[in-house]
Structure 1
Amino acid sequence: MERDERRSIDREIRAIAVPAVAALATEPLYELCDTAILGRIGTEALAGAALAIRVLAFGHAAFVFLMFGTTAAVARHHGAGRDREATRQGVAAVWLAAAVGTVAAVAIAGIGRPAVSWLGGSGTVADDAWTYLWISVLGLPAYTVVMAGVGFRRGLQDTRLPLAVAAATVALNLVLELVLVFGAGFGVGASALGTVVAKWVGAGVYLALLARRVRETGVSWRPDRQAVRSQLVVGRDLVLRTLLLLGVITAANAAAARVGIDELAGYAIAFQVWMFAVYAADGLEAAGQSLVAHRLGGGHGAAAVVDRLRTWGLRVGIFSGVVLACSALWVPSLFTDDPAVRSEATASLWWVAALQPVNFVAFVYDGILVGAGQQRHLAAAMAGATTVFALVLGFGTWATDGLGAVWASLAALMVARLIAGIRATRSPRSQLQF
């Protein structure tokens, strides 16, 4: 690869990945704000919110295909110069997002209390979890619309507007929570309400942006059936992959809850930091989805882009790991004053730091495969990785009582995903034209 070509690709990756990091980190930033504020209220409130957040994760992550699928579909049409068709994909995605978000909100509200109990919540912790949960589901339709909106903008290779929306809504959420929780003296429910309001504001902004694009291209607001069907086909494999991942996260959280309340609270802090880093890794995944799909849609090869994405993933992952390792001793104090919880969180953060290089490169491969339309590889890889996770967790919890077994199983999961991604891109059936 020539130096000029490498620099050109690096500029494209930066232009998409850097703003996407902040935009994609919106949800974990919401949760980090909730975790930090509720940690000041008490350990029970923090543990309750942790359980509720894990239940909500099924709604937040199960429909991530709305973003991934929309990005790839829009980027392919945009790369081929078919802007009207790209806009039709955006309209279809928003309608689909509103529908599935509403259904998911009703379903999660219906199973909320039993789910909290299954995750190990009881007493005051279970009550706080339910309060946080039923208020939070009111924002789920807004969240899915935002996912579709982000996917549409990313497909157009525009991540600056999502960055601005993310920054504004996160700031709004923080202000609302500080006023409601500390200023007005409300509790867990007020924390959830601030997040709900911020999500609906974000959804309104994305609908306005799409409306402007609809006017410019002359596309109808009626959802195109073919576009909806294509979104559902793409979503089928992505939903399976995501549900498996959510099952893994839920099982890990349940295992942590059974160790003890201090361990669960410490795990919750470290897990939120880990998820924040994961969403940051999604910035490079976003670049992979958009750039690979755009090049393949325009009839060009993607080998050079894939090579640079892998390099970026490894380097940024190492940097992230070093930063987290250096901050593991003081980060927990931002969330809680409880010495026992801080100790558990610090121990967990060492695991988080060590996993960063693997996490970043694994997510880079996810983006490459989605951009190439190889979602089936992701589902198959996740199924295999889930099996590895279950075996390690089962043996670990039998052999030891601490959180080490939980983090070891998550590490095994990510290593398995990375290996599967490498193998998938080297398959003879690959569309990446190496």
Structure 2
Amino acid sequence: MNDWVKALLLGCCVTHVAATPLNEAEQQAWITDIDFYAHQVKVRHIHPFHTLTEGDFKRSIETLKTELPELNEAQVETRLMAISRAIGDGHSNYLMMSGPHQHFPFRFKFFGDTLKVVDATSEYRELIGTQLHSINGLSVAELYTQLAPVLPGVDNQFSEQSSFEYYLSLHKLLLGLGIVKQGLPTSFHFIAGTNEKILQISPVSMREFGKLSSAYSRVEPKLTVQDIGMPGITLSLLENQKAAYFDFASYPTPEQVMSRCDALQSTLESAGSRYLIIDFRGNSGGNFYSGLALSACLLPLDQIDWMRGVYVLTDGVTFSAAMSNTAQFRQILNAQVVGTPTGGDPNHFAENSQFLMPNSGRRFTLSKRYYPFIAQQSDAVYPDIHIEPSWDDYRRGKDTVLSELLVRLSGMQIAGNTVSASAE
């Protein structure tokens, strides 16, 4: 564990912010909640001290309880996030957003080392496409250093970056870290080319923030989407490439997949699909047996090029079951992985249980299973074909990864037709 994390866990670097400290009744309530949390970690996590030592865990809990008179609610919750992060697996998390919270009115996304605004509320629409330079004088690099040790849902550096993009907007977390002040507007510094803009911005409700997204509106390639009766999965048939594209955005149940299998097989047989593209980008998980059900449905189709015609698309959000299915499809479907590395670790703690704290009503999760999906140690499923989305494509609604893959498939079609013609 690095020194910064130890300092945060053991309380030697308490940051004081302008917010109301806990009163005695609130302190007692939090002591009960913290003890409940600590007990559940020790008895319900499958292997709680695989990364954080039991001694460090116990000291962090005791220090937190001792320092409650000096802390406000946001600081207590931020400290619990840090302890959960130090446990060391992306399925064991303290869920700050299970209580009242607000967000700053932006969604952010990295393009290379540049963090851009990709969506904003109507008042700040003109900032979409600008680069975030700093918040209250802290650069993006400094913000990353402060947030990284407390971010939830992290298995590796790729899910850490995705989590940072989202949680940078969480006002209560920034308050708990001392980055912003309670009741005061926050200074945001944006850059667009040679122009700069500094604005004082207040947070908005979760309802308003929830309307925002970091997903682009895909214009290219143009897809004709079919509902195949598997909630969370849609199909587009790409005739020019003889490809079937599955946008696997979220997980149906295995029963929902199998009940529609015959109809899906008939659709693909009629279309003469030769290539399969299964898109797990942006999918943070579900029931991986549903993914296996889809693979079982597809495997009988002899028309598919099972030697070089199956592709799985991934990114830093591809996590949990979506990462598991990626690793499985590489084996059982002979799939090539395309895009950027997964946010999930293929040898990971998973299948979490959720717990409700008795006083605050806040929630946390703990891992209860361990899955080693590949023999060698690796922090991610790395792509066979690495394609990095670009800001210019994103801005225009072009899906860089899918577009470049379709160009490859078109080339394979031309080469295959040329070989066939020569043989004749």
Shorter-chain TM-score bucket reads under 0.3
Greater fraction helix = 1
Larger RCO (alpha carbons 8 Å, 6+ apart): 1
Q: So what's the TM-score if we normalise by structure 2?
A: 0.25
Greater fraction strand = 2
